[in-house]
Amino acid sequence: MFKQKLMWVAWPAFLTACGLELLVFALIDPQDLHWSGHALGWSRQAVYTAAFFVFWAVCMASSALTALLCSSSAELNRVALSGEGRSDPSA
């Protein structure tokens, strides 16, 4: 089930990051980017790659939060019981 939920988060985030990458770099030239008043000094490909992974991470966080909020309380309260004094809530 974990792999399925991971794909529910990762795949839409990947597609959204691809679209965001296309949109952002259709409007911005990576060679014109500055950081703290200085030219970034990275190649175009390095900027595209770094930006894609940043976009993907942000989109994955958003998708993960959506998946968490869509989970039922039973799914969220299911834990591996390893310790004394805990009882299984489903029992």
Mean pLDDT of 35-44: 88
Instruction: List the chain domain ranges.
Output: 2-70
For residue 89, pLDDT beyond 70: no
Pairing relationship of beta strands 34-35 and 38-39 according to DSSP bridges: antiparallel
Which pTM was predicted?
0.72
Could you tell me the sign of the dihedral formed by the alpha carbons of 12, 50, 22, 28, in that order? positive
Mean pLDDT of 15-26: 95
Mean pLDDT of 20-47: 90
Query: pLDDT of 51-82, one tens digit each?
Result: 999 999 999 999 999 988 887 878 778 755 44
